[in-house]
Structure 1
């Protein structure tokens, strides 16, 4: 399979994996925040009742979790494509 065809074949897979990664990361973040902060809801940036530290800590934690989950899901998808097609997606 040529590079262009390989890239085209991986596009829909990558999109679906991205959506799945976002959903999984959201669920993981909710559980981690609930455990770490003892609060069911993470603060929104515009929440007047929450301080800067709590807002920024929640954002940093959420970003880190999202990045790790997305990298794991993307890598797993690439490995699956290689197994199915014999080529690494580009």
Structure 2
């Protein structure tokens, strides 16, 4: 295994935690913008409709995936510019 890949592991873990927090905040904002005052529904909440539960899950998944890809790519790009080696 390359030294750059090993060195990047802790940075990647930290970036993963940061991306999770950013994505959570972005999802809460998006859910409010869509006109929902309450938190997103749990899949097992019997008082919420299928439509609302599936919309929330789909939106949350898309936001989390987009934020994670953005943060991961930015981290890898920064690592390459600092070390000259792509961490992947």
The separation in 1 between residues aligned to 2:67 and 2:86, in whole angstroms, is: 20
Pairwise CA distance, 1:4: 1.5
Q: Does 1:83 align with 2:81?
A: yes
Aligned residues between the structures = 88
Distance 1:24 1:40 in 2: 19
Which of 5, 8, 11 is equivalent to 1:7? 5
Give TM-score, length-normalised by structure 2. Answer: 0.95
Runs of 5+ unmatched residues, structure 2: none
User: Normalized against structure 1, the TM-score is what?
Assistant: 0.93
Deviation at residue 64 of structure 1 after TM alignment = 0.2
What residue is the counterpart of 1:27 in the other structure? 25
